Amino acid sequence: MAKIILPISNGFEEIEAISIIDVCRRANIEVTIAAVEDLTTIGAHNIKIQADCKIEDISSDDFDMIVLPGGLPNAFTLADNEKVQSLLKEFKSKKKKIAAICAAPYALHKADVLNENFTCYPSFENKIKIDGYHENDAVVIDNDVITSRGPATAMIFALEIVNMLCDEETYTSVKDGLLMADY
């Protein structure tokens, strides 16, 4: 069974975090929510999530992928947190998979793990880099790094994570069960 770590802090984007958690768990991917601040974390729209553990308790050896949801100030907190930045660098050096959506590709940029091609929430490319930015793509996959634009693309993004970590049968089953076959 594939395992992902999802770091969150206050101000995370709820649609993105919950979509990732839900879709991945439907594919039997083990998702661990790691709090950067308190175990009870409050999203950008005042929805609370109880994390499974603190980010300090996480080892990159235990996971296949790290996935960062966006939202503010969450994206900036993840970009400034030493443990998150260290984990991102470890995942990259171990050739493990990395994903970020919305404003969170900024945290990948700060860790110097973002590949050439990426997408993000419009305007955040100005904080990252213009070269390699795909403004019209819902999801961009560049080797082991997946990026996506924002809340409306969260389900597509989560399915691409499933596609990357699971077999075709699981991916198709989850996609069809979500009625995403036509998107």
Question: Is residue 50 classed as helix, strand or coil in its secondary structure?
Answer: strand
Backbone angles phi, psi at 96, to 5 degrees: -95, 165
Would residue 24 show up in a list of annotated catalytic residues for this protein? no
| CB count in 10 Å sphere of residue 117 | 16
From 24, 53, 102, 166, the catalytic residue: 102
Helical ranges in 129-181 per DSSP H: 154-165, 168-177
Nearest one of 25, 35, 6 to 166, comparing CA atoms: 25
> In this structure, what token pair is assigned to residue 79?
């970009």
Q: How far apart are CA 94 and CA 144, in angstroms?
A: 11
Cβ pair 12, 75 in contact under 8 A: no
Active-site residues, by number, are: 102
